[in-house]
């Protein structure tokens, strides 16, 4: 989404028709289980495991709990 300033107000442009703004990625249970096991290893941070898998660290923390 792009923005422009018009008369001191910020206007936004709608995305192209038919284009979705966000697309939820669905991971398999196997992917989640493997990520949780790896993140539970000593001396390995959840953030580094999440980064290596291309997911958000907060999402991985949710799976661990």
Domain boundaries, the chain: 27-65
pLDDT above 90 as % of the chain? 48
Helix (H) or strand (E) run with residue 48 in it = helix 46-53
pLDDT surpasses 80 at 44: yes
d(CA 29, CA 63): 10
Answer for the pair 39, 49: CB distance below 8 angstroms, yes or no. Answer: yes
Q: How confident is the model at residue 33 (pLDDT cuts 50, 70, 90)?
A: very high
Residue 18 phi/psi, 5° resolution? 85, -15
Q: Which pLDDT score is estimated for 65? A: 84
Residue 5: the pLDDT is 53
The answer, yes or no, to whether residue 20 has pLDDT greater than 60, is yes
> What would you report as the CA-atom Rg of the chain, rounded to the nearest whole angstrom?
18
What is the H or E stretch that residue 12 is in? strand 9-12
Q: Is it the case that residue 2 has pLDDT exceeding 60?
A: no
């Amino acid at each position: 989404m792009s923005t422009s300033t018009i008369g001191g107000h910020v206007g936004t442009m709608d995305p192209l028709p038919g284009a979705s703004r966000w697309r939820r990625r669905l991971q398999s249970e196997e992917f989640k289980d493997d990520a949780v096991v790896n993140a539970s290893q000593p001396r390995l941070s959840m953030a580094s495991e999440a980064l290596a898998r291309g997911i958000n660290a907060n999402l991985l923390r949710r799976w661990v709990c």
